[in-house]
Structure 1
């Protein structure tokens, strides 16, 4: 697994971890990009409003999310680009337990 803390340590940091969850903080500035990395099923909480382009293989999606939102993120591998004019500041609560019934195919790119 391409752990975002390892692949993009200038943007991701672990703020809490136990046997059931890992909590990551993500922070970047306009124009910043990440390299490909993976997330397990997660809950994403936005601390700032932002606009990003996400890429996974040939797929890409633009997301714009207001501050104070909580969104589900299916397990996925992607890279991202801050295409807005604000910092992206997000907290991810990554689940360590497997999804009941297995993996979603195909996973949805970006938050839902």
Structure 2
């Protein structure tokens, strides 16, 4: 099963740049929109518009409320999301293609984090 967000939700995610080291995705949705389960590698997420959403994975849920202009780290993860706010979401994901160093394990954080 393909978990590439540009394939699972092509109406919401689009590839805007890609090379051998990074892939950049644009994400846009409207209130009430939901994503199919998909996977992100380690990434940096930049919010271009404020939004509120629910991220779900493995029976866990977290609500995320971010302002426009924030940059957040996103550990590699598989999840689905839902716009639970009253504004459109517009974000950019800079996905890293290089593997994580073996000395630093992935955190168990669901959704974006501040570090």
TM-score normalised over the length of structure 1: 0.96
1:41-80 to 2 correspondence within 5 Å? Answer: 41-80=42-81
SS, match of residue 35 in structure 1: coil
CA contact (8 A) 1:43 1:73 kept: yes
Mark the runs of 5 or more structure 2 residues left unpaired by the alignment: none
- What is the root-mean-square deviation of aligned Cα atoms in Å? 1.1
Mark the runs of 5 or more structure 1 residues left unpaired by the alignment: none
Q: Equivalent residue for 2:34? A: 33
TM-score normalised over the length of structure 2: 0.93
| Structure 1 runs (4+) greater than 6 angstroms displaced | none
Deviation of residue 107 (structure 1)? 2.9
CA contact (8 A) 1:50 1:87 kept: yes
CA distance in 1, matches of 2:57, 2:105: 17
1:45-77 CA distance string (max 9 Å, x none): 000000000000110000000000000000000
- Corresponding pairs, count: 111
